[in-house]
Structure 1
Amino acid sequence: MHRSIHILSTKALRTASQDRAAQEGIRLEMLPFIRIEYSDVPELFAAPKSSITAIFTSVHAVKAYMGMDAATRPEIKAVCCIAGATEREVHSVLPHVPVLASRPYAAELVRDIAQQYNASWSSLHFYCGDQRMPTIPEGLAQAGIPFAEQVVYHTIACPEKIDTVYEGILFFSPSAVHSFFSLNALPEQTIAFAIGHTTAGALQQYTNRIATAPQPDEEVLVAYAIEYCKEIKT
């Protein structure tokens, strides 16, 4: 029987993830280290309504688009997006819109777009946050593909000093990593769990005690962290 395991998530988790922790007897805390503010971008829609192919690399970007005035926002004819939570959100709110490309990481996604792109596509619009990585715009530019980029949300750091020692801390973005480590250091017995390679890369600036989920998905990360911590506690 493993000893009590205490895990901190640096964002609020979905119910399924919380249930998994509860079923395993894990003490799970959730403390967001970033918050999202959606942009007010009415200037985008002064022109006549148009049809576009949208690129989404986060759930927040999808929600920001859906929060715009439906009467004036561009009509999405097709989507290219990150697989996992972002693609699920696309299917949920735009169920009849085809997904032309879907990959777990931005570098893979932009390669797929470059391979498939042709002149028949509607205008490409990349909806993103103010702290987006350069992978998508640089990849499109290198491929000679025209696109418009629009920042539709802002990521605000919410650092907080932590005194509790956890077996594991879950990180879901480079922004949350930098926010956490602006006030905290990682205790020697604590593992930093990264949802994907980009987040793991940010963690490398602060620690070498990093474990990366086998797939960039919240529930996969939670299950991976639970099993990992159970192994080291037995």
Structure 2
Amino acid sequence: MASILSTKILSASQRELLLNANQNFVEYNAIHIEFLPFEIDENFDYYVFTSQNGVNAFLKNKGKSNLTEEKAFCVGEKTKSLLEQNDLKVVEIAKNSLELGQNIEKKYQKSSFLIFSGNLRRQELFDMLIKNNIRYKEVHSYNTHLNYKEYSRVFDGVLFFSPSGVQSFVEENQLNNSWAFCIGETTAVEVKKYTNQVIIANKPTIENVLVQAIKHFRSND
């Protein structure tokens, strides 16, 4: 029976996946999100969300504006789902911020964008917009804080859901011979700084990360 560490507290249904597969697991939140107050500038064609955190920050501040229709660009299926659950129209979706920037470059050069980001956001999208002289404004809408926690044991597998979660974990721990299961390519890039034992989810969902871990350890029992 494998030992698994999740760097995110799982939902009841997600825990059931591991329990039904007879996997031992420990869970904690490697990061903490702090939402910030801000004004929503309504003079932009589209709103850009690179994570669910940006969407939640927007929703907390939306009541202060007079918005009647929001047209959104986003990264990831989970972000898209959250937007649509809250009646925001998703115009473009991409796997990562670089791909989103490439889509904007191809089809939306004359449009303007309001981007909701955090303190640890990546630079690729902004470089693409600057390079093509595309009008945008960045809204610093949330902060990601790293929650450091040291473990005295080595886990067979560690589940990672963001680059910042990786950074938090390795501050106090080493991966050693652990397998790292990542929600996507961007997270895997960060993990590969510390280990080559990396498996990336087929879909960027928490559930698929769990499935990959279960499949791996079941086949290696």
Q: Does the TM-score normalized on the shorter chain lie above 0.5?
A: yes
* Change in CA separation of 1:51 and 1:136 when aligned onto 2, cut-off 3 Å: closer
Does 1:54 pair with 2:51? no
- Aligned partners of 1:51 and 1:74 also within 8 Å: no
Q: What is the distance in 2 between the residues matched to 1:217 and 1:106? A: 17
Separation of aligned partners in 1, 2:43 and 2:128: 24
Is 1:12 aligned to residue 3 of structure 2?
A: no
Relative to 1, partners in 2 of residues 1:140 and 1:164: Cα closer, same or farther, differing over 3 Å? same
Distance in 1, matches of 2:167 and 2:191, equals 8
1:6-42 per-position Cα deviation (integer Å, ceiling 9, x unaligned)? 211101223332221122122222111110101122x
Report 1:67-146 matches (<5 A).
67-72=60-65, 76-93=69-86, 95=87, 97-117=88-108, 119=110, 121=111, 123-146=112-135
Structure 2 counterpart of 1:183: 172
Displacement of 1:52 after TM fit?
A: 4.2
TM-score by length of 2: 0.92
User: CA contact under 8 A between 1:80 and 1:113: conserved in structure 2?
Assistant: no
8 Å CA contact 2:34, 2:142 repeated in 1: yes
Q: Which amino acid aligns with 1:72?
A: S
Counterpart-to-counterpart distance in 1, 2:214 and 2:133: 44
Large movers: runs of 4+ above 3 Å: 49-52, 73-76
Long gaps (5+) in structure 1: none
What is residue 209 of structure 1 aligned with on the other side?
Answer: 197
How many percent of aligned residue pairs carry the same amino acid? 26
Deviates more, 1:4-13 or 1:127-136: 4-13
**Residues 50, 74 of structure 1: 8 Å contact kept:** no
TM-superposed CA distance for 1:73, in Å, is 6.5
**2:209 alignment partner, SS class:** helix
CA deviation string 1:88-134 (max 9, x = no partner) = 111111x2x32111011221111112222154x4x410101110000
CA RMSD of aligned residues (A): 1.9
Find the residue that maps to 1:147 and give its secondary structure: strand
Aligned twin of 1:230: 218
Structure 2: segments with no counterpart, 5+ residues = none
CA contact (8 A) 2:176 2:195 kept: no
